[in-house]
């Protein structure tokens, strides 16, 4: 069966082909408008916004969707999907109360209309935002809801991301051994369909697990592979995370200045895309690395620690 152009664009987006998805969306938006197909037009607009978000332009994606007249009242799917996107982008910008309100409204519509895949999108968005808020219990519940939807026919995308989200929540809480099977199964799903950016994302989570279990060589390899894919695809949000993760390897190796160089790169990107949570995290990591440098010097030269002429290097230097 031949797929419509908006379906092709959405599938390319899910496979991580940002350029391919963008080309179709940009070419077809005007045509859909000329044909008067409002639902198709909105699906293409959502792809365009997703590409902007993936490239780190979250505010631009938000403003783009807010700049056009909302979908018609009878187009329930587009209206609910708009709330999903606006809610998710608001959450990425730290406006979590607004994000959950919009996503909650979208969930009511999706459930009432029996739009199973839209429900999955809602739960994925809320799961990620809860994760960023460090509410790992709520985040896990959302991803397990996505897994249920996948089992009802949601397809590889929902199953892969549900498994990834469950593993990610275990990983961030230091339960590395428990996280690995979930992440490895997720990786297998993404590898089977060739979803490059999703593969790179899971490599990053696996890298954290291996670093936590003491295998810094394997962790570094995974982080570097992820960073290469993300840099090539210009997936800025994920790329800055991979750079910071590489910094964590060097921090653990006590190569503090190399760690700081990676943290600084990550911080510059976080500021560029206006990611408040990452800005805070990478700034903290830089300060931590400098603190460990000072501690090391003080241990080697106790006299200096008592004020004998050592100038402390600040985190902003």
235: left (phi over 0), alpha (psi -120 to 50) or beta: beta
pLDDT in tens, 11-40: 999 999 999 999 999 999 888 877 777 889
pLDDT of residue 130: 97
| Distance (Å, whole) CA 141 – CA 147 | 10
Helix, coil or strand: residue 191: helix
* Orientation of helix 5-14 relative to helix 38-54, angle to 10°: 20
The domain locations on the chain are 1-54
34 by Cβ neighbours in 10 Å (0-12 / 13-18 / 19+) ranks as exposed
pLDDT of residue 201: 97
Q: Where are the alpha helices (DSSP H) in 150-275?
A: 156-172, 176-193, 196-212, 216-233, 236-252, 256-272
pLDDT of residue 302: 63
Two tokens at 200? 């790179």
| Distance (Å, whole) CA 10 – CA 14 | 6
| Distance (Å, whole) CA 5 – CA 28 | 7
- For the chain of 317 residues, list the mean pLDDT of each consecutive stretch of 10: 80 95 92 80 96 94 95 93 97 94 97 94 97 96 96 90 98 97 98 97 98 97 98 94 98 97 97 91 96 86 45 31
| Distance (Å, whole) CA 289 – CA 252 | 10
pTM, whole model, 2 decimals? 0.88
Helix, coil or strand: residue 214: coil
pLDDT of residue 303: 55
pLDDT of residue 153: 80
């Amino acid at each position: 069966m031949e797929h419509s152009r908006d379906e092709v664009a959405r599938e390319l987006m899910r496979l991580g082909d940002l350029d391919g998805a963008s080309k179709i969306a940009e070419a077809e938006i005007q045509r859909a408008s000329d044909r008067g197909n409002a639902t198709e037009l909105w699906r293409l607009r959502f792809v365009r916004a997703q590409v902007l978000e993936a490239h780190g332009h979250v505010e631009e994606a938000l403003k783009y969707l807010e700049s056009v007249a909302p979908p018609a009242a009878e187009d329930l799917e587009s209206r609910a999907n708009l709330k999903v996107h606006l809610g998710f982008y608001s959450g990425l910008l730290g406006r979590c109360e607004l994000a959950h309100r919009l996503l909650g409204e979208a969930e009511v519509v999706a459930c009432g209309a029996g739009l199973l895949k839209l429900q999955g999108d809602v739960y994925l968005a809320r799961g990620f935002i809860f994760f960023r808020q460090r509410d790992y219990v709520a985040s896990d519940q959302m991803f397990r809801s996505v897994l249920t939807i996948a089992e009802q026919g949601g397809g590889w995308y929902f199953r892969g991301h549900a498994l990834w989200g469950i593993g990610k929540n275990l990983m961030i809480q230091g339960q590395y051994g428990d996280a690995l099977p979930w992440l490895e199964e997720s990786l297998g799903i993404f590898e089977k369909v060739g979803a490059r950016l999703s593969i790179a994302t899971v490599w990053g989570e696996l890298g954290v697990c291996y670093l936590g279990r003491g295998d810094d060589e394997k962790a570094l390899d995974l982080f570097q592979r992820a960073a290469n894919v993300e840099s090539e695809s210009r997936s800025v949000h994920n790329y800055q995370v991979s750079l910071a993760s590489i910094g964590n390897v060097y921090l653990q190796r006590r190569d503090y200045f190399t760690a700081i160089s990676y943290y600084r790169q990550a911080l510059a990107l976080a500021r560029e895309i206006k990611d408040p949570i990452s800005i805070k995290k990478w700034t903290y990591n830089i300060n931590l690395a400098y603190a460990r440098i000072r501690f090391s010097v003080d241990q080697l030269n106790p006299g200096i620690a008592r004020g004998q002429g050592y100038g402390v290097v600040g985190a902003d230097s």
